Chains A and B, each alone.
Chain A
């Protein structure tokens, strides 16, 4: 592996890597790498905490043994069957939320262009609710409903915001309007639904990882193991799109096709989350912004946003379980509170700067 020092001063530490006799080449931003690694380690740490703590505490050593299938059956059941789905889902869904937020913030070139703000999450929830109330379907049908709901909403918002192409700010304003209407419609549906359907749907309304089992984990993991790498593959064209359609096209990118592909992936990610755990607010909005502050990267970065999303959700879920134990909060309540605090801090920081 050749480790040539970059001879260009990038204004940040960067390392050119050209292993295999130059058949593979990458330029690695050192800070970005360190931040990503740190976030992943922290996120996995919270994941382990989730596995270890609860009404029935399990020492970390036992947790590891349970994970490789060598613990007592009772410990095995607690760690693997009860707690693992929750911890793993928190990590996976968090990464999905971070990615989805990053995609839409990049497309709209606006830090507010996140799927929970511009109505795609509400639309996914509408789709899921319609399936639950009208068809009473299982998880896969609900997930399908969420996906269709999210895509229809995205198409609607995109279409309404279209005027010789889509401009980010108009998309956000239209999205906020559509989001408000869909939220009202969702409430209306809950009020009109049969009591037991409404009860379960309302529980889910706040976004919760509570009581999700291995079956959910399996399906969500399968979906996300396709969607997450597919999104990461589009990181470079996405970054080029941030320079404007003309500049991106001049560099060999089909702007409109890339954007539609990114939108479909972004909606699919948020729909998977919504179908699995209900609408979880603020992670998609905040994760890319925090990741950017830490990496000091230009534009929106997908990988750090995913890592930050995973950390935020798994940490928020740990708080949701432990803060008022034995009472369990829906994780959506915690993320919204954390999001509120983030905004308050942002306002104070802005005010101080002026």
Chain B
């Protein structure tokens, strides 16, 4: 069975929510923490609600609506989200008040909006969608599990159109705490220089990206979601390489069939070594594009990566800002998106062009 990407929507540190060609106006930064460019949320949410909603809910609702609009759909049959950290802002607000006020005089709003399924629930509420609704919260596999769930549901035929998305937000608390783990650059770096940085550490990012998936091809569809696979804690790079070969085989292709490799390089010299190894072993002459210098590193960044890969196939070209190695291919039929999150969560997403 074919699974078609009939629509997409994305809110990110790039100008992805306003339409136009991919990276038509590139946003460049020189900082270790990227924030999304907020679209005008009034398009989808009334003012009273906007004030009450945290950023992750707003960006999720916006990306979901953009995805449905581009698919020409008002309501999906199912909504599935992936978020590693969930609603950090409201969690932080409630936790801080609870500690500072010694568990007294607390109000419910932040608690209500702190649960990980808030975004999927709010989308359902705004769309009045009573269909299947699920939220995966598994670190670097959150978005991937959401995709797998959608593929399985479309496969069994119990839904025709599924809205699938991945999202995470940065808050002051989360950035402060994650910084203490030493995962970010010590000094600001220009985003367009990030991927060639000789130092460990990356930059923090955030965003929300949604796909509208269907087993029927929509009018504007250019891309099929051919396969998704995950690999947890590989023992060594050979296991990753073997996994990719098997994954491609199970989707009836080989590395030669891949026109463009899209990787999750994040500018951390230690973590990027795995991409070097894999490219050298399987894709030595393949052009490679990257996305985390555009959106920053976060556990559901593959949602942005998939959104971008879909746009690359739709436009049949790779903007210079996204190219990492080689020249843009003349024809983009198949893209393999390979990402790993902190070396433990490896994921593989295969996209194919459809006429």
Partners in one complex: no
